[in-house]
Amino acid sequence: MAEEKGLTPRAQDFSAWYNEVVLRAELADYSPVRGCMVIRPWGYAIWELMQGALDRMIKETGHQNAYFPLFIPLSFIEREREHVEGFAPELAIVTHAGGKELEEALVVRPTSETIIYAMFAKWVQSYRDLPLLYNQWGNVVRWELRTRLFLRTTEFLWQEGHTAHATEEEAEEETRRMLGVYRTFMEQWLAMPPLTGLKSDSEKFAGAKRTYACEALMQDNRALQAGTSHHLGQNFSRQFDLKFQTQEGREDYAWNTSWGATTRLVGALVMTHGDDAGIVVPPLLAPTQVIIVPIWKTDEQRAAVLGKAQEIAKALGTAARVKVDDRDFLTAGSKFYEWEAKGVPLRLEIGPKDLAKQQVMLVRRIVPDGAARKEALSETLAVQQIPERLSGIQRAMLAEATRRREANSHRGVRTFDQLREIVDGVGGFIYTGWCGSSVCETKVKEETKATIRVIPDAEFRSAEMPATCVVCGEPAATEVVWAKAY
């Protein structure tokens, strides 16, 4: 890995920094297919750890994994008017296959509501068949005009949950429950604290009754929609005849929900925690949590320090994900540079002098307040302390991300001029009153490029509800959070 050229500093050009970091950390690379990406092993290992954690949390709420086809009949998409209007510009449509024109065009899956609820309709007859709680891990295609690795690509990986319920209340409870799962996952695993709340009607999912979202603040003070949960009402059930006999003996349409999170979360990790040396991976998501770098000059030293490195790695066992970098063709400095760029939380250096003192040099990727970046520890103490050191780093990363979010949350903004000044200046989350009018919402979007990210949940609202709409000055119906977003 070349050391000659440093990364573009975040403060100079955050967008350039992001692209360089993703490539240098070997998270992903550009595909020959425009708008698509190749996820490299380091990036995919992070995604697998995310996937494993989130999958466990989803299953703990009673959901089962299933798989549905990649190809969906175009007629299915067209049945739900709002749905097709929302996705029409992004659809990839197959019209020929097997050397001939298809009788009916097929859409490459942009999302699976239509085909899943068509199948649910075959399986549900009675209230006894409900609820259906399904989740799917797969890929989707949305034909994006402007793409960026992980954040917005033509093809991406995700999970999408789909459920059917007997009542509206059950569906609403499910929608909120899964939003809570996403929030917990993001806080505990990504060390990324999102705001949660309701989307405005103009920002909700095409075909949904209500959409709830997790909105995270990146280091450049732009928002990133990190996960969504949709209460779909009975819209899709009516289109696909998903009916059931109620306990009272009448016929009713099922109530549906859908919810999803994507490989965009890898990009969120980069933009939440990265620094001018590369990415910083929260320990819980680090494919390698501890990298051991043996340092030698002679063959005799090599055998001794390498033996000790393997011994310490073995002693750590399952307490941490450990790798010994025993590559002969790289200098120790090159190895330090590479693993720093990849964001490994802890590095242990072992040289001949350390061997003589029965110690290791422990180096942190990031330095919590009051801690030293580099310190000598006895071999025994290093092995004992590493699990808690990793936990401490995880906690510190969440605390710092939360501090930064709050420091860049602007409350009490009363006028449109104030709103515009913040959007054009420092950015961040801007809390204002809103009358509920789409006219006022559109005015802000057109003149500042900021959008309503959420109508915040109670715990995120300001202590005092804004009295007037930031645009028109009429009485506010609710408080909203504005930001420029990815």
CATH number, residue 445 = 3.30.110.30
Which band of pLDDT confidence, cut at 50, 70 and 90, is reported for residue 129? very high
Q: Does the pLDDT value for residue 371 go beyond 90?
A: no
pLDDT > 70 fraction of the chain, expressed in percent and rounded = 98
Q: Are residues 252 and 371 in the same domain?
A: no
At residue 347, the pLDDT reads 98
Q: Are residues 137 and 216 in the same domain?
A: yes
Mean pLDDT computed over 64-85: 88
Which band of pLDDT confidence, cut at 50, 70 and 90, is reported for residue 435? very high
Evaluate whether residue 399 is within a structural domain.
no
Six-digit token string for 397: 């990363």
Distance CA(97)–CA(101), nearest Å, equals 6
Q: Does the pLDDT value for residue 45 go beyond 60?
A: yes
Q: Are residues 136 and 169 in the same domain?
A: yes
Evaluate whether residue 7 is within a structural domain.
no
Q: Does the pLDDT value for residue 296 go beyond 60?
A: yes
Closest CA to 233 of 252, 214, 260: 252
pLDDT per position as a tens digit, 389-405: 999 999 999 999 999 99
Evaluate whether residue 29 is within a structural domain.
yes
At residue 314, the pLDDT reads 97
Q: Are residues 314 and 425 in the same domain?
A: no
Q: Are residues 115 and 231 in the same domain?
A: yes
Evaluate whether residue 26 is within a structural domain.
yes
Evaluate whether residue 278 is within a structural domain.
no
Report yes or no: 268 and 218 within 8 Å, Cβ to Cβ. Answer: yes
Give the predicted TM-score (pTM) of the model: 0.95
Evaluate whether residue 403 is within a structural domain.
no
Asked which of 247, 273, 299 is the last residue of a domain, the reply is 273
Q: Which domain holds residue 353?
A: 288-389
Q: Are residues 41 and 95 in the same domain?
A: yes
Instruction: Give 78 or 433, the one with higher predicted confidence.
Output: 433
Closest CA to 194 of 449, 481, 450: 481
Mean pLDDT computed over 123-139: 98
Which band of pLDDT confidence, cut at 50, 70 and 90, is reported for residue 3? very low
Q: How many CA atoms lie less than 13 Å away from 397 in the CB half-sphere?
A: 32
Q: Are residues 295 and 348 in the same domain?
A: yes
Helix (H) / strand (E) containing 72: strand 71-73
In b/e form, how buried is each residue of 436-473, taking b as 16+ CB within 10 angstroms?
beeebbeebbeebebbbbbbbbeebbbeeebebbbbee
Q: State the CATH number of the domain containing residue 367.
A: 3.40.50.800
Evaluate whether residue 190 is within a structural domain.
yes
Q: Are residues 268 and 292 in the same domain?
A: no
At residue 145, the pLDDT reads 84
Map residue 215 onto helix, strand or coil: strand
Mean pLDDT computed over 205-211: 94
Per-position DSSP letters for 224-283, written without gaps between them: EEEEEEEEEETHHHHHTT-EEE-TTS-EEEPEEEEEEEETHHHHHHHHHH-BTTB----G
Map residue 300 onto helix, strand or coil: helix
Asked which of 221, 250, 273 is the last residue of a domain, the reply is 273
Which band of pLDDT confidence, cut at 50, 70 and 90, is reported for residue 78? confident
Work out how many domains the chain is built from and give that number: 3
Six-digit token string for 41: 């092993």
pLDDT per position as a tens digit, 157-175: 999 999 999 999 999 999 9
At residue 370, the pLDDT reads 66
Evaluate whether residue 394 is within a structural domain.
no
Which band of pLDDT confidence, cut at 50, 70 and 90, is reported for residue 84? low
Q: Are residues 263 and 299 in the same domain?
A: no
Q: Are residues 319 and 252 in the same domain?
A: no
